[in-house]
Structures are given as C-alpha cells and as structure tokens.
Amino acid sequence: MSSAFPHRHLLGIEGLSADDIRFLLDEAEQWVEFNRRARKQDGRLIGLTQINAFFENSTRTLFSFEIAGKRLGAQVANFHVDSSSVKKGESLTDTALTLNAMQPDVLVIRHEANGAAAEVAEVMGCPVINAGDGSGEHPTQALLDALTLRRRFGRIEGLKIAICGDIRHSRVAGSNLHSLPLLGAEVRIVGPEELLPPSPPPGFASFTDFEEGISGADVVMTLRIQRERMEEALSDSLGDYHSLYGLTRERLERLAPNAVVMHPGPMNRGVEIDGDVAEDPERSLILDQVEMGVAVRMACLDVFTRPDRGA
C-alpha cells in the first residue's frame, strides 16, 4: 500500500495528488453496495481501537465515522468534550498525549481551530483523520462529494460546478477547491463579496451575481452561512440573503438540463436553499452525500489502519 497510498495521516486534500484521491474513491466503491445489505459486518478492524474526538457538534460526520468503524469491526470510543478535562483548561496537545497513551489505532478529530488535526498528528502514534478543522479543511467531505458526483455522472472531469454561499468560512469549500480541479472539474465560486475569499484563488471564476454564477452549471453546491465563524458585524450585514443567493425552484431553470444540487448539511431551509429543492428526487443528491459519507469513511479507516500504510 505504501506505493499506492503513501500518506500516514489524512489532514487535508491539499498535499494529495489526483491519483491519491482516485485511490480512496475506488476503495470506497466496494463499501457502497456492502452498506445496502441487510447485514453489514466486516471484520478487518477487529481488535483495533478508533477514537472519535469531536470538539464541535456534529451529526453526519460523527455518526458516519462511528457507524463506519463499527461495521468494520473496530472498538469505537467517542470522546465527549463536555465531560472531559478540556473543560478544566487542558490543552489540545495534552489531551492528545493522554489519548495517545491509551494506544488507539486511529484518531478521528474535529476541532474549531485551523490546524488542530496537524497539531495532534505531531504527538499521536497512530494515523489521524481530520473530520474538520475550523475554516481549514474537511477532507472526507470532499471525498464523499467526489464519490457522489462520480456515481451520478460517471465522471468528474469536465463538470461545471458552482460552489455557492459562505466560501470564506467553509472548510467544505476549502477541501473541494483542492479536490475538484485536480479531478478535472471547472469550479466557480459564487456568493456575496463579504463571503468570498479576500484573495480569490487563481484559476477560479468568481461571481457575486448568483444567477450569473450558476448559469449553465452541472452542479450547484450550496453552503450554510457559518455565523459561528464570523464577526457579528459581518453576520448582521448580510441582510436578506435568500432573496439574492437562495437556491429556489425558479433559479434551477438557469442550470444545465440534468444538473444536480448538493449541500453538506446542516441546511438552513429558506436561507441558502428552499425545502422543495432540497427534497427534489430528480435534482437533489443531498441524501446520496450522506450515504456516500459512510462508504468513504469506511475506506479511510481501512486504508489508514493497514499495517503497510505510508510512513
């Protein structure tokens, strides 16, 4: 495996090659059908311990990692911040050293600080998988998004993808802006000027006019406004976001004929996306994303716990 996938940790999409990403997507494919069986038990992680250390709230990511580990046979332990020594002032590094002394085989971490996963990886003796660090990266989300699209279209190369909304504060956008171009997609970023990156990344078309930005797109990926990562003044200045940037039934007419809609969740219905659009069985891939999340996280747990993983 060291030649096929030479990385010890999954801290971000940045630093991975297109071949690395395709390798993980191919590994995830086997688990899609597996997860649709009546009985879902594989023993390749039997005897291994997985710690999920989530310093931020989560539904999709935490539970999909827990389900993924259990379906692979791992002993899964969830770290509860509210009842931990973090509440007594323990540092992130000291918490990581404590967890490391318990000899886990893989650590999955979500944290509100950019770079937290990399900081923890410095002191852990096991692989670390980043489940979201601040406004930095969310690599498994980008992988599940890519898998969802590849299964829908049979390809990612050549797709016109509009990532819309709070690009500046979104770790989902951060990872997708690395992965999708590597896989050959044409990516646009769309949103209010206040929510676009201060210095737009080179090579990306940037739009503040929502309807212009989504015109002809094969995929519209809407993002939640992350008020928890904004200054209050910026949050208050957004005004009626939905009227200008909400994805409505009428605005779907501007997309390519077979276009699809995505959202990483949690959704604010009636803000960045209308409920009837999110539930459209022909257009919406939102629940497909959730399903692919379990498969991708099973693949990552399997790959990163193999004895011959990268150094």
What CATH code is carried by the domain that includes residue 133?
3.40.50.1370
In this structure, are 272 and 146 located in the same domain?
yes
**Residue 3's pLDDT band (boundaries 50, 70, 90)?**
low
Whether residue 144 sits in one domain with residue 108: no
The per-residue pLDDT for 89 is 83
Q: Are residues 143 and 133 in the same domain?
A: no
Q: Is residue 1 part of a domain?
A: no
Look up the domain containing 83 and give its range: 18-137+291-304
Same domain, 130 and 213: no
Say if residue 148 is in the same domain as residue 271: yes
Residue 88: pLDDT band (50, 70, 90) is confident
Count: domains in the chain: 2
7 belongs to a structural domain: no
Assigned domain for 10 exists = no
Instruction: Return the pLDDT at 34.
Output: 98
Residue 6 lies in a domain: no
Mean pLDDT across the chain, nearest whole number?
A: 92
What is the per-residue pLDDT for 177?
A: 96
279 plus 226 within the same structural domain? yes
Residue 176 sits in the same domain as residue 276 = yes
The pTM of the full predicted model, rounded to 2 decimals, is 0.94
Helix (H) or strand (E) holding 245: helix 241-245
Domain assignment present for residue 25? The answer is yes
List pLDDT tens digits, range 89-124. 889 999 999 999 999 999 999 999 999 999 999 999
Q: Of the given ranges (63-67, 140-144, 239-243), which has the lowest mean pLDDT? A: 239-243
Give the model's pLDDT for residue 90.
86
Q: How far apart are CA 300 and CA 165, in angstroms?
A: 28
The per-residue pLDDT for 71 is 98
pLDDT at 232: 54
Q: Is the pLDDT of residue 228 over 70?
A: no
299 and 239 within one domain: no
Say yes or no: 280 and 143 in one domain: yes
Give the Cα separation of 129 and 136 in Å (integer).
14
Q: Is there a single domain that holds both residue 235 and residue 266?
A: yes
Q: What is the pLDDT of residue 306?
A: 94
In a domain, 310, yes or no: no
Q: Are 261 and 286 in contact (CB under 8 A)?
A: yes
**Residues 76, 88 share a domain:** yes
Range with the lowest mean pLDDT among 28-42, 81-95, 284-298?
Answer: 81-95
Cβ pair 241, 272 in contact under 8 A:
yes
**Looking at residue 198, what is its pLDDT?**
85
Residue 237, pLDDT score: 54
Establish if 70 belongs to a structural domain.
yes
- 12 lies in a domain? no
Q: What are 150-186's pLDDT values in tens digits?
A: 999 999 999 999 999 999 999 999 999 999 999 999 9
Residue 236: the pLDDT is 55
Instruction: Give residue 309's pLDDT.
Output: 56
Rounded Cα–Cα distance for residues 6 and 110 (Å): 23
